[in-house]
Amino acid sequence: MKGRPLAAIVSAGLSKFGKRDGFSSRELFAEAVKEAFDTCPNLDPKKDIKALIVGNMSEAFEHQCHSAPIMSDWAGILPAPSVRVEVACASSGAAIRYGLFAIISGLCDVVMVGGFEKMTNRTTLEATEYLAMASDFPLEQWNGATFPALFALMATAHMHKYGTTEEQMALVAVKNHHNGTLNPKAHMQREVTVEQVLSSRIIAKPLKLFDCSLISDGASCAILTRPDIARKYTDTPVYIIGSGHGTDAIGLYERDDLTSLKATRIAAKEAYDMAGLSPKDIDVAEVHDCFTIAEIIAYEDLGFCNPGEGGKFIESGAPTLDGSLPVNTSGGLKAKGHPVGATGVAQLYEIFLQLTGQADKRQVDDCEIGLTHNLGGSGATCIVHIYRRG
């Protein structure tokens, strides 16, 4: 059966993303949790929630490991067992997948999944170093390769092989910044033009300032349950109907092709096959646009267009809000922000709003099927989920 529910999302919450001075990650997580609980009054958190699975990339930002019990405490769900998962920027995407495992196995009827990261309390240099820890140490970090540099290599390869242009990459930033102005929880609520993107300072050629996502603070959460009991908690559940996890070599130097991410192709195929759907069935998507080239490559690897046609896909207007396949209606990592551990469930949050008709000024008409695509590092990890309106 196409679209057979694996689990149901009955509520979700998101903190405001941005430079949240004076707020710790535990406070941001409590902010996200409060929204999830407030919009699901039939849920009894202490009684119903049987586990917490939370994504977080680095202990370095707040000098704090063993963070899962802290988040469980601040969510008010102790003594529910809790665990932190880490696969770099895909950490909370993995939390969703392991939450699914808990539901499907029958071990838990209701679980909370989420993610968090507090980043702006560190200098840009420190944040760049901590993020670079998700790349290979001896052959990338040690030689000075940061993530802007690694994705710049991908951009250069894509431009050389397919003729992709800096203007096409700039169109991704323009689109996502526009969507961010419609999202009150986005970090960057500011329009940009192609000219502003192209004239912004070089970070790692050909990537410029406005080609890069933001260093942000934020947290996200969602409540998952068995599909057969979902309507006990809400009249408008959203079902997870496909899940895929792909893994590739961590270092770019080990990969055969820098213009495509094997982990995405693996994860997407698994999720599409599980859902019994194909790319043409997707109505709205949140993809991992840590850099503008990453969104263009995602279009291709997810099957939204043919290899090498990602630049033409954005030029066509297809992924804009009123296009045939709106992508990153939230503003994406580019404008909404990228508190790395929170991103995967933040993507779920946007799709949950879209499929339940709660996305306000950025609402996509008549959307029934959504997709999230969450990368870890330079693409060694990818988590893809597919969702259906209840």
Instruction: Tokens for 180, please give them.
Output: 């961010």
In this structure, which amino acid lies at residue 46? K
Distances in Å between the Cα of 371 and the Cα atoms of 213, 231, 244, 283 are 20, 22, 11, 8
How high is the pLDDT of residue 3? 81
The CA distance from 148 to 201, in Å, is 13
Annotated catalytic residue, options 288, 338, 373, 385: 338
- Known catalytic residue: 338? yes
Residue 371, classed as helix, strand or coil, is strand
**What is the distance between the terminal CA atoms of the chain, rounded to a whole angstrom?**
15
Place of tokens 């994860």: 267
Per-residue pLDDT tens digits for 26-51: 999 999 999 999 999 999 999 999 99
Per-residue pLDDT tens digits for 176-204: 999 999 999 999 999 999 999 999 999 99
Does 380 score more than 80 pLDDT?
yes
| pTM confidence score | 0.98
At 95, the pLDDT band (50, 70, 90 cuts) reads very high
Annotated catalytic residue, options 89, 108, 221, 290: 89
Does 19 score more than 90 pLDDT?
yes
In this structure, which amino acid lies at residue 271? A
Instruction: State mean pLDDT over 142-171.
Output: 97
Does 2 score more than 90 pLDDT?
no
H-type alpha helices, 163-279: 166-181, 194-199, 262-275
The CA distance from 114 to 93, in Å, is 9
Per-residue pLDDT tens digits for 234-255: 999 999 999 999 999 999 999 9
Confirm or reject CATH 3.40.47.10 for domain 7-123+213-389, answering yes or no. yes
- Known catalytic residue: 89? yes
At 328, the pLDDT band (50, 70, 90 cuts) reads very high
Domain positions in the chain are: 7-123+213-389
Strand segments, DSSP code E, in 35-74 are 52-55
Instruction: Tokens for 189, please give them.
Output: 């609520």
What average pLDDT does the chain have? 98
Does 1 score more than 60 pLDDT?
no
> Which element (helix H / strand E) includes 158?
helix 147-162
Place of tokens 């000024």: 361
The residues facing 385 across adjacent strands are 243, 372
The CA distance from 127 to 122, in Å, is 6
The CA distance from 183 to 336, in Å, is 8
Total length of the chain: 390
Strand segments, DSSP code E, in the chain are 7-14, 52-55, 82-85, 110-117, 202-204, 207-208, 218-225, 238-247, 284-286, 369-376, 381-389
